[in-house]
């Protein structure tokens, strides 16, 4: 039953979620206002969604605080917490097709990616933290005759999770799952471009038995709902994924309010380095293409700077082009589509603007460069490759968050590392070589939170994820993310 007609029928039969989830209830915004949710698939209106503002933030924070203080989740036995989170994972599996269709409609991603990538990844993240929550141990202090001391991890309290639109449910789960596993209450603020799966998650969590108030979901605009949440004096932490500009604001809001903790997963301009002794040019070319064009380039770790060593540059580019030419934009609900729409008209215009800037600065347009499928009314951009980009050019320095690859040629390994590090960002990097010493040295010299050798994006929920420099701080994924949502308390008993 995997056909365009099938997924269109599913889409047509769905009741799209549009209400906030506060204190265990699905509610309209306090003001009664809604915003229009558009699908980038064809530019049409999907539904109207509660436009939450400071008044709704106030209700949600009160609800989350009440839940935290009375311990309805925090003090639950770890076996019972586990049961609820595993039940939620089962319900999400049952609803996987619905969640995938919602995600595909909301942000224009290929249904097959949502079904095989986003939704199962979100469920795996949830199970990972559910499995971890009864393995949180404290420490016992050094032996002393007159004293017994120990240290325990305690949940922080009320967590505001503000998330982006590129992998809406997947990114949300990287925060919601560890924060819940640690016993916190959460207010999830999805991006205004992609509220649907977050709202659905709020509903499904209630069905799974998560007590009311423990996971509230507030759709709305960043400058309204997001800002009010980040300025609120009774929120203990903001866990954020999004742009550097908003990351900087969140730190100001923290300073202006209650010094709440802030963790920031921001953007990147990740270098993908192909040394002349690359072990497998075809594999590297495939991964270099998908490493930047997957999800229409709207990936924070996108390998958007290809650095290729001069002796193999032409040959490598030929192989890269052969792969990239096959990545053709199509209807997101068509199962064969490998590349969908960009998430919004604004994002499409940003990508097109960067392509023009790159050309005007001397870049050689080698593939793509245009909007396609305009007659659908949707927002699609061709995979685009710009060769001969210099490290000082705009396309080498600013994040596009679209399907645009900057190619730069280099001479020596030292040049490659220098160019790779010549950026304000430091999220991810990849390199291909058969020289183990070079691989190891370069991996250690590159200032990035993730380095992949001979395989792009080759790790999962078990390994920490986050940036150096202006790509942010704090880590998602792995057990480090679990402890991020806790305080460490020392207790000493005088004997």
CB atoms under 10 Å from CB of 451, counted, come to 18
* 3-class DSSP assignment, residue 1: coil
CB atoms under 10 Å from CB of 469, counted, come to 17
Within 119-275, strands assigned E span: 139-140, 147-155, 158-162, 185-189, 215-217, 237-241, 261-265, 271-274
Q: Are 61 and 186 in contact (CB under 8 A)?
A: no
Whole-number minimum distance, CB 457 to ligand NAD, in Å? 12
The H or E element containing residue 283 is: helix 281-293
Nearer CB in complex with ligand NAD: 369/472: 472
Nearer CB in complex with ligand NAD: 398/415: 398
Catalytic position from the list 192, 265, 287, 382: 265
The CA dihedral of 354, 355, 358, 362, to the nearest 10 degrees, is -160
Nearer CB in complex with ligand NAD: 166/337: 166
265 is annotated as an active-site residue: yes
Whole-number minimum distance, CB 305 to ligand NAD, in Å? 14
Whole-number minimum distance, CB 60 to ligand NAD, in Å? 14
Nearer CB in complex with ligand NAD: 56/192: 192
Nearer CB in complex with ligand NAD: 309/350: 350
Whole-number minimum distance, CB 138 to ligand NAD, in Å? 30
Whole-number minimum distance, CB 246 to ligand NAD, in Å? 3
Please give the Cα distance from 273 to 429 (Å, whole number). Answer: 8
Within 116-255, strands assigned E span: 139-140, 147-155, 158-162, 185-189, 215-217, 237-241
Closest-CB residue for ligand NAD?
222
Strands of the sheet with 364-367, listed across from one edge: 364-367, 384-387, 404-410, 305-309, 271-274, 428-432, 450-453
Whole-number minimum distance, CB 141 to ligand NAD, in Å? 37
Nearer CB in complex with ligand NAD: 105/217: 217
Please provide the size of the chain in residues: 495
Nearer CB in complex with ligand NAD: 11/199: 199
Footprint on this chain of ligand NAD (rule: CB under 6 A): 162-166, 171, 189, 191-192, 222-223, 226-227, 230, 241-243, 246, 249, 265-267, 300, 399, 401, 427
Q: Are 385 and 405 in contact (CB under 8 A)?
A: yes
Please give the Cα distance from 241 to 161 (Å, whole number). Answer: 8
CB atoms under 10 Å from CB of 464, counted, come to 16
CB atoms under 10 Å from CB of 11, counted, come to 19
Give the N- to C-terminal CA distance of the chain in Å, as an integer.
69
Alpha carbon 21 to chain centroid, angstroms: 22
Whole-number minimum distance, CB 312 to ligand NAD, in Å? 29
Q: Are 37 and 219 in contact (CB under 8 A)?
A: no
Q: Are 160 and 189 in contact (CB under 8 A)?
A: yes
Whole-number minimum distance, CB 448 to ligand NAD, in Å? 12
Catalytic position from the list 224, 278, 287, 300: 300
Nearer CB in complex with ligand NAD: 53/265: 265
459 is annotated as an active-site residue: no
CB atoms under 10 Å from CB of 370, counted, come to 12
Q: What residues are annotated to the active site?
A: 265, 300
């Amino acid at each position: 039953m995997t056909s365009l007609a099938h997924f269109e029928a599913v889409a047509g039969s769905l009741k799209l979620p549009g209400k906030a989830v506060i204190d265990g209830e699905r509610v309209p915004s306090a003001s009664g206002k809604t915003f229009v949710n558009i699908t980038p698939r064809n530019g049409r209106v999907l539904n109207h969604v509660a436009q939450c503002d400071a008044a709704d933030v106030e209700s949600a924070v009160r609800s989350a605080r009440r839940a935290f203080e009375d311990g309805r989740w925090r003090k639950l036995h770890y076996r019972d917490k586990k049961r609820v989170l595993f039940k939620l994972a089962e319900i999400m599996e049952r609803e996987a097709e619905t969640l995938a269709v919602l995600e595909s409609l909301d942000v224009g991603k290929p249904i097959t990616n949502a079904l095989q990538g986003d939704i199962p990844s979100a469920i795996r993240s949830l199970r990972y933290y559910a499995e971890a929550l009864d393995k949180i141990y404290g420490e016992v202090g050094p032996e002393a005759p007159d004293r017994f001391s120990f240290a325990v991890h305690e949940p922080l309290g009320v967590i505001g999770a503000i998330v982006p639109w590129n992998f809406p449910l997947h990114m949300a789960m990287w925060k919601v799952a560890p924060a819940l596993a640690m016993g916190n209450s959460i207010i999830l603020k999805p991006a205004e471009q992609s509220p649907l799966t977050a709202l659905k998650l709020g509903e499904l969590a209630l069905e799974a038995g998560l007590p009311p108030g423990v996971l509230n979901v507030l759709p709305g605009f960043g400058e309204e709902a997001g800002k009010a949440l980040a300025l609120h004096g009774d929120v203990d932490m903001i866990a954020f994924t999004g742009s550097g500009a908003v990351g900087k604001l969140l730190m100001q809001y923290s300073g202006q309010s209650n010094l709440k903790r802030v963790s920031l997963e921001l953007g990147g301009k990740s270098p993908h380095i192909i040394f002349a002794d690359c072990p497998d040019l075809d594999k590297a070319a495939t991964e270099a293409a998908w490493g930047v064009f997957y999800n229409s380039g709207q990936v924070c770790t996108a390998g958007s700077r290809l650095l290729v060593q001069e002796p193999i540059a032409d040959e490598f580019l030929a192989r890269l082009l052969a792969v990239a030419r096959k990545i053709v934009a199509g209807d997101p609900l068509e199962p064969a589509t490998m590349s969908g729409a960009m998430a919004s008209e604004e994002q499409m215009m940003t990508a097109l603007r960067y392509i023009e800037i790159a050309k005007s600065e001397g870049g050689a347009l080698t593939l793509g460069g245009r909007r396609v499928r305009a007659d659908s009314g949707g927002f699609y951009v061709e995979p685009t490759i710009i060769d001969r980009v210099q490290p000082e050019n705009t396309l080498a320095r600013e994040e596009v968050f679209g399907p645009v690859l900057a190619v730069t040629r280099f001479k020596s390994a030292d040049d490659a590392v220098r160019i790779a590090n010549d950026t304000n960002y430091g999220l991810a990097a990849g390199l291909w070589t058969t020289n183990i010493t070079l691989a190891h040295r370069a991996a250690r010299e590159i200032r990035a939170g993730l380095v992949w050798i001979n395989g792009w994006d080759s790790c999962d929920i078990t390994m920490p994820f986050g940036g150096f420099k202006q790509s942010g701080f704090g880590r998602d994924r792995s057990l480090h993310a679990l402890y991020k949502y806790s305080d460490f308390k020392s207790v000493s008993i005088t004997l």
